[in-house]
Copies of this chain bind each other. A is one copy, B any other.
Amino acid sequence: MTVNKQVLLASRPQGAVSTDNFRLVDVPLSQPGEGQLLVRHDYLSLDPYMRGRMDDAKNYVQNVAIDEVMVGAIAGEVIASNHARFKVGDKVIGAQGWQLYSLSDGRGLTRVDTTVAPLSYYLGVLGMPGLTAWIGLIDIGKAKAGETVVVSAASGAVGSVVGQLAKLRGCRVIGIAGGPAKCGYCVSELGFDACVDYKAGRLLEDLQAATPQGVDVYFDNVGGEILDAVLTRMNAHSRIPLCGTISQYDGAKVHGVRNFRSFLVNRIMLQGFIMSDYKSVWPQAIAELTQAVKEGKLKYRESVAEGLERAPQAFIGMLKGENFGKQVVKLT
C-alpha cells in the first residue's frame, strides 16, 4: 500500500521563512470511496501568495493552520476513480496542497489538455499566474497600444506573461528584475524593450532612462522601494494593478511608501487584486493565452526543484528571487 507524503506548516515565520517552519510527514493513503477519485500529483506550484498564508495576519482568505497541509496548486493525473466526470488517466489541476496524492470529490479540479501544452504549463502561463497577468494588465490596467508598461519581478511567472502580452498589444515594455541574467532574458528572449536591474544600485536613474515618456501602467508584483521609484515616473491618469508585495513579505523591514503624493498629482488609479475576484473574464483570458502559446508567441520558463522534500527550500529561494521563471516542484 502506497504512503502519501505531505508538507505541513509546523510554525509561523518570525521574519524570514526558514525550513523549520515546515514538517514533512508520511500518512496512509486511502482508496477512493463512492463518488471520489485519487489524484497523483506530478507538479506542485510555488507562488509568492503562499507566504501570506503562513502568517496569522489578515489576508485574502483563511490562512493555513499550524499542522495543516501547506496550501498550493498541483498538476497531476487521476489514478483511480469512482467519479462520474473523471476517469483514470485524466490530467487535472487543483488546489490540493503540498502533498504527493489527494482524494477528491472532484470539486475544484479542472481537466486540462496536454496536447496544447505540457502539464506544468497549467500551473503557470495557462494557469493562475497567466490569468493574473492578463487580468492586471488588460482588465484593470487597460494597457493600450503605444503606452509604456513597466512590470516588476519581470522574469517571473506573472511578470514574463505581463510583458509579452503587453508587447503583443503594441505597448513599450520595461521590466524590472534582479541581476543581469534575468534582465538579459527579458530583453533577448521575451522581447521587452528594456529591463532595469534593481540590484545594480541605480534604480531611479536607470528607470528614468528607460522611460523617457513616463509610465502609463505599472504592474506591481513587489511593492516597497521599487514601487516608490516607479511612482516618480508615472504619467497623468496612469494605472497600477497591484498584484503582490513580495518585497514586504518578510515582515521586519516594512518600507513606508514615500512618494504617495504622486497618486494625487498624477491622478493614478491603483487597484489591489486577486484573480479569483475576476472569474467573469477567465474564459476570454484563457482563450487568448492558449492561442498565444499555440502560436509560439508566449515564451515560458520554469525553475524546477526535484522532490517534495525540496519544496520548502525552493520556496524560500523563490521569496529571495533565486528562481528564474515559474517555480515548480517535480514530484514524480
Q: Write the residues of chain A forming the contact surface with B, with a CB cutoff of 8 angstroms.
A: 52, 58-60, 223, 227, 237, 242-245, 248, 254-258, 260-261, 263-274, 277
What chain B residues lie within 8 Å of A58 (beta carbons)? Answer: 265
Cβ–Cβ contact B270 & A277, under 8 A: no
Contact of A260 among B60, B257, B265, B268 (CB under 8 A): B257
Cβ–Cβ contact A265 & B59, under 8 A: yes
CA distance A254 to B261 in the complex (A): 10
Cβ–Cβ contact A273 & B277, under 8 A: no
Report if A264-B277 is in contact (Cβ < 8 Å); known contacts: A258-B254, A270-B270: no
What chain B residues lie within 8 Å of A270 (beta carbons)? Answer: 263, 268-271
Smallest Cβ-Cβ distance to A251: which chain B residue: B261
- Total copies of the chain: 2
Cβ–Cβ contact A267 & B274, under 8 A: yes
Contact of A272 among B60, B255, B264, B271 (CB under 8 A): B264
CA distance A257 to B271 in the complex (A): 16
**Shortest beta-carbon contacts, A-B, top 8:** A256-B256, A264-B272, A263-B272, A257-B257, A270-B270, A256-B258, A267-B272, A269-B271
Least CB distance, A238 to chain B, in whole angstroms: 10
Report if A242-B223 is in contact (Cβ < 8 Å); known contacts: A255-B256, A270-B269: no
- Contact sample, A vs B, 28 pairs, CB 8 Å cutoff: A58-B265, A59-B265, A60-B265, A223-B261, A223-B264, A227-B260, A242-B264, A244-B264, A245-B260, A245-B261, A248-B260, A248-B261, A255-B256, A256-B256, A256-B257, A263-B270, A263-B272, A264-B272, A266-B272, A267-B271, A267-B277, A268-B270, A268-B271, A268-B272, A269-B269, A269-B271, A269-B272, A270-B271
CA distance A106 to B255 in the complex (A): 50
Smallest Cβ-Cβ distance to A257: which chain B residue: B257
Cβ–Cβ contact A223 & B267, under 8 A: no
CA distance A125 to B223 in the complex (A): 38
Least CB distance, A267 to chain B, in whole angstroms: 5
CA distance A274 to B237 in the complex (A): 11
CA distance A260 to B257 in the complex (A): 7
CA distance A254 to B60 in the complex (A): 30
Least CB distance, A100 to chain B, in whole angstroms: 31
CA distance A59 to B271 in the complex (A): 22
Cβ–Cβ contact B260 & A223, under 8 A: yes
